[in-house]
Each structure stands twice: as structure tokens, then as C-alpha cells.
Amino acid sequence: MAREDAGPDDRNAFTRFFDRVDRTLSPAFASPEMAPEDPDDRSQLGEKPCPVCGHPMFEHRVDESTSNVLLECPTDERLPERAATGPLNEFGMPAGEKRLEKIRRHEERYGG
Ligand SMILES: [Zn+2]
């Protein structure tokens, strides 16, 4: 029996199946009503202080000429780095909550 002889019903079942899949999925793919972009978003971002120098972000120059986008601060001044007072993790960074918990447990067990 040739494949074409399978009858039109086969094809219709197939088509119906995909019609149903289509109907089921289309709400997911249909672009939902996009929330209107908050026009203030950009300006608020621009007024946020830079974490490096403390100047507003809009004063910065963004160098996108390379694949590494560079942010140029308008000043050479740098905010002082927050001194780490607590224990450090394996990377020399301030230890996270998990690590602190581990240290606490270790100290309880072995007496600091
Ligand atoms: Zn900066």
C-alpha cells in the first residue's frame, strides 16, 4: 500500500492536530500588549550615580567600538572601595551568607 493511499482522513487528522497545536500555542506566541515603555526609565538610569566614580551615568562616555563595551568615567576620582571587615571567601571577596554559615558551624564544632 502506497503512502498516498492512506486516505484523506489521515491527513485531516494530522492537519487537525496541528491546527489544535496552533490554537493552543498561539496565545503564547502572540505578542502580548507590551507595557508602554516608561519614558522616565532612561533619565532615571542616567541620573543614577556610577558605582565606580559616583558621577551620574549620563556624564559617562560609552565606548562601543570594541566587543568589550567600555564605560569611561568623566573623572579619575574613584569612590573608596568598601573595606571588607568580615571573613573572605575563597576568591578573597567578602564571604557570602552560605560561607559565613559554614564558618559559624566550624567555629561551633572546633571552638573558633
Ligand atoms: Zn563612573
Query: How far apart are the C-alpha atoms of 62 and 51, rounded to whole Å?
Result: 15
- Kindly give, in sequence order, each residue whose CB lies less than 8 Å from that of residue 89, ignoring residues fewer than 6 positions away: 95, 96, 99
* Collapsed DSSP state (helix, strand, coil) of residue 6: helix
pTM: 0.35
- What is the whole-number distance in angstroms between the Cα of residue 44 and the centre of ligand 1? 16
- Check residue 81 and give its pLDDT: 74
Instruction: Report the run of H or E that residue 37 belongs to, with start and end.
Output: none
pLDDT tens digits in sequence order for the chain, 112 residues long = 555 555 555 668 878 888 888 887 776 665 556 555 555 555 555 578 888 899 998 899 989 998 888 889 999 988 887 676 778 888 888 888 888 899 899 999 987 6
- What is the whole-number distance in angstroms between the Cα of residue 56 and the centre of ligand 1? 7
- What is the whole-number distance in angstroms between the Cα of residue 55 and the centre of ligand 1? 6
